[in-house]
Structure 1
């Protein structure tokens, strides 16, 4: 099963089909041409053995906005592991705006997190991923992430990060920072800033490494 948000543009009223699994998507009021959906946890998350999968499919000239009502905490898993997988598919001019709340990996947690995005040319996506390694006073558990994004058949972004405690303190990864805050755009570029990497194709990755999540100002990055 998957949590699924399926949106189709319609000149009268955009259609939105929502499917609940670990997360319960709920449609919110919005202006014409915009579909806003809140993601609400349907139970305790994230625990050992959980396999969360979120699918977002949008077709036609509609803007989908996903709102998370709270952050997610991956709790100690006592030798177990969990997954958090996101699959995005946009066609025919659709756009997606998803500024996620913090994803906290507690001490003893072991999480694999993937994001896969397929965009037809002319579609855009703006995604914020805010990863926090450990609750206050904790070192934090193990997190591995993988991101893949395509525009049509062209691979735009491929990134794998091993954020396990024994590797992430290296100078080329997190160093002394505890939080990795990232805004990724697909289908268009952000303005040039010291924190922004421009991809070879139409896309950008803006990133800040901070000790406390609220110290990042990427939420104010113009998009």
Structure 2
């Protein structure tokens, strides 16, 4: 998908329906364009390779929401991948809210997010990773995130949650099943402050919550999301 700013407002430039997702424009007052990612088919199953591409033009404002979330099913020895490539041009603004990304029992998922930001661009991003549905231990997940600002690395993370035995050790996630975070890239937001906040070496900050239930992570992250500019 690609969006551009013309006449003081952001408009869709290219919205393409893929194998798994269909972008839908949601109308609302203001200069930003709000787009929802509607599901086309069930995902992720073994062998699925979902790729999302987002291009926000100079000075454009995009609010991207995923009302359905993602459920990775039992891969039965196979593997699935979920990838997003985001490009923010100079002065672009984007808020991206992802609900639960659930890794069901027996699933094996590679999740990768790559973001390239030009000078003056800003991204406010929220995600929630859930290891297993109710009563499940959860499958294997490797989540790779890379954010570059003006061609230089701003944030790089390789989160390897492939082995349930290793991730459940003290100091990793223990008995927790939910890892949620709010991240600001391109500027350093004001409060709130607390031990769960990590300010980056460059312009940006991250607030993470590890919990046993999604609603408990949301209770921690909702005030941060709104304080940093999320709707």
TM-score (norm 2): 0.91
Separation of aligned partners in 2, 1:176 and 1:69: 27
In structure 1, the gaps of 5 or more residues are none
Equivalent of 1:163 in 126, 137, 161: 161
Residue 10 (structure 2) aligns with: 14
Q: Which residue of 2 aligns with 1:28?
A: 26
SS of alignment partner, residue 180 of structure 1: strand
Look up the match of 2:112. 114
Confirm whether residue 43 of structure 1 aligns to residue 46 of structure 2: no
Structure 1 equivalent of residue 223 of structure 2: 220
Normalised by the length of structure 1, the TM-score is 0.94
Matched-pair contact (CA < 8 Å) for 1:33–1:61: no
String of CA shifts for 1:183-215, please: whole Å, max 9, x gaps: 111001233322111000001111010000110
The runs of 5 or more residues in structure 2 that have no matched partner are: none
CA–CA separation in structure 1 for the residues paired with 2:111 and 2:123? 19
The match for 2:204 is 203
Q: List structure 1 segments (4+ residues) > 3 angstroms apart after TM superposition.
A: none
Q: Give how far 1:46 is off.
A: 1.1
Alignment deviations for residues 70-111 of structure 1 (CA, whole Å, 9 cap, x no partner):
121111010011001011100121111011110110100000
Residue pair 1:108, 1:140 contacting (<8 A) in 2 also: yes
CA distance in 2, matches of 1:134, 1:36: 30
